[in-house]
């Protein structure tokens, strides 16, 4: 009898892990396709504005919109009963952790790029100003705001079903169901799943350390300048 219970327990654990990995994999596909769609909108916006260089405020305003709608679309997939056999609460918790890990990973990437560009600039290498702008407080603000919005959707799900998020949700499903593009984004989702654990570990460490940038050996003692950054970003 005890052996049977142990067997059932192991089977339940395996089933849960399979569903967990499958859900994270699906989120990876969602994030990849969302990034692709947002990139198309970004290209169209740049064409309409004739490539005008943006201010820091404009960059982080657009990035905030991007992150909020990503949180919105993620919530819609959590309430979609066909996505996973995990219960609703577990899906929300896991999705929240995945979102946090993804956002912190983006913050670290942007911070590292800014650090690299500063080193190149201090080495008298000419770099486009638009590639060197970075604002840590603004990055943290848009991340926190997006996660707060994701949490609030749980209390008012009707607000998540707005025309824009519904369009993203439907477009993601349609692209995922295509043979060629669906396969490509599923490959990206697979690598997203593989990299998630390492990102979670580095992200948690980053948060516990106070989100401080590493010391710049080329620091000349001058105050940092807010820099612009291209919001065209791909899932890594």
In degrees and rounded to multiples of 5, residue 179 shows phi and psi of -70, -55
Confidence of residue 101 (pLDDT cuts 50, 70, 90): confident
Q: Which residue has the higher pLDDT, 136 or 148?
A: 148
Residue 5: its pLDDT value, please?
Answer: 66
Nearest 5 degrees, angle CA 85-CA 88-CA 91? 75
43-50 average pLDDT score: 83
Confidence of residue 212 (pLDDT cuts 50, 70, 90): low
Question: 82, 102, 112: which is closest to 35 by C-alpha?
Answer: 102
* Position 76 pLDDT exceeds 50: yes
Under DSSP, the state recorded for 160 is G
- The share of the chain scoring above pLDDT 90, in percent, equals 31
Residue 125: its pLDDT value, please?
Answer: 54
Question: 150, 49, 174: which is closest to 98 by C-alpha?
Answer: 150
14-43 average pLDDT score: 88
Residue 126: its pLDDT value, please?
Answer: 56
Q: Which residue has the higher pLDDT, 118 or 68?
A: 68
Mean pLDDT, all residues of the chain: 79
* CA separation for the pair 206, 212 (Å, rounded): 8
Q: Which of the given ranges, 44-58, 86-100, 142-156, 183-197, has the highest pLDDT on average?
A: 142-156
* CA separation for the pair 170, 16 (Å, rounded): 27
Q: pTM of the prediction?
A: 0.77
Residue 52: its pLDDT value, please?
Answer: 73
27-52 average pLDDT score: 87
């Amino acid at each position: 009898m005890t052996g049977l219970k142990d067997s059932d327990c192991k089977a339940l654990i395996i089933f849960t892990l399979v569903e967990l990995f499958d859900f994270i994999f699906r989120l990876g596909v969602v994030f990849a396709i969302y990034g692709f769609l947002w990139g198309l909108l970004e290209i169209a916006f740049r064409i309409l504005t004739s490539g005008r260089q943006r201010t820091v405020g404009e960059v982080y305003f657009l990035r905030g919109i991007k992150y909020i709608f990503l949180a919105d679309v993620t919530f819609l997939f959590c309430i979609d009963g066909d996505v996973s056999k995990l219960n609703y609460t577990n899906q929300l918790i896991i999705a929240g952790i995945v979102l946090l890990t993804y956002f912190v990973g983006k913050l670290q990437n942007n911070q590292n790029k800014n650090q690299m560009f500063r080193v190149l600039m201090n080495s008298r290498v000419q770099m486009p100003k638009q590639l060197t702008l970075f604002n840590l407080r603004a990055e943290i603000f848009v991340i926190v705001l997006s996660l707060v919005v994701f949490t609030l959707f749980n209390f008012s799900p009707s607000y998540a079903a707005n025309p824009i998020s519904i369009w993203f949700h439907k477009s993601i499903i349609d692209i995922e169901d295509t043979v060629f593009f669906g396969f490509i984004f599923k490959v990206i989702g697979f690598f997203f799943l593989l990299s998630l654990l390492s990102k979670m570990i580095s992200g948690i460490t980053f948060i516990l350390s106070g989100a401080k940038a590493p010391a710049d050996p080329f620091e000349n003692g001058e105050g940092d300048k807010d820099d612009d950054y291209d919001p065209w970003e791909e899932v890594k």
